[in-house]
Amino acid sequence: MASTMGPKASLKKGIQRKREELDLSAMRLTNESYFSPDNTLPLIIQPAMEG
């Protein structure tokens, strides 16, 4: 059966829907690495994305 909800009601429902939480800790802004796995000096930190 097709929905009988009008466009305004649909929009309202959409707005009322709980926003999805964005886990910022999961968004890695940097990458870490080493020159050699045997030596952790220095730690190398680089941007995860160019720009």
Partner 1 sequence: MNLANWASNNLGYIREQLAKHGGILFRNFHIDSPAKFENFAKAIGTELFDEYGDLPREDPGSKVYGSTPYPADKSILFHNESSHMHRWPMKIFFYCVKPAEKGGATPIIDCRKIYNELDPAIIKKMSEKKLLYVRNFVTGLDVSWQQFFQTSNRAAVEAYCKRAGIEYEWKENDQLSTRQLCNAVSRHPHTGEMLFFNQVQLHHISCLDASTRDSMLAMFDEKDLPRNVYYGDGSPIESSVMDEINTLFDRLAVRFQWQATDVIMLDNMMVSHSRDPFEGTRKIMVAMAEIVSQDEMPTI
DSSP structural state of residue 36? B
Using the rule CB under 8 A, is 37 a contact of partner 1? Answer: no
The answer to whether the Cα torsion of 36, 42, 48, 51 is positive or negative is negative
SS3 31: strand
Taking the complex as a whole, the smallest distance from the CB of residue 5 to partner 1 amounts, in Å, to 44
User: According to CB under 8 A, which one of 5, 10, 13, 30 is a site residue for partner 1?
Assistant: 30
Task: Evaluate whether 45 touches 30 at the Cβ level (below 8 Å).
Answer: yes
Using the rule CB under 8 A, is 14 a contact of partner 1? Answer: no
Residues that bind partner 1 (CB under 8 A): 29-30, 32, 35, 39-47, 49-51
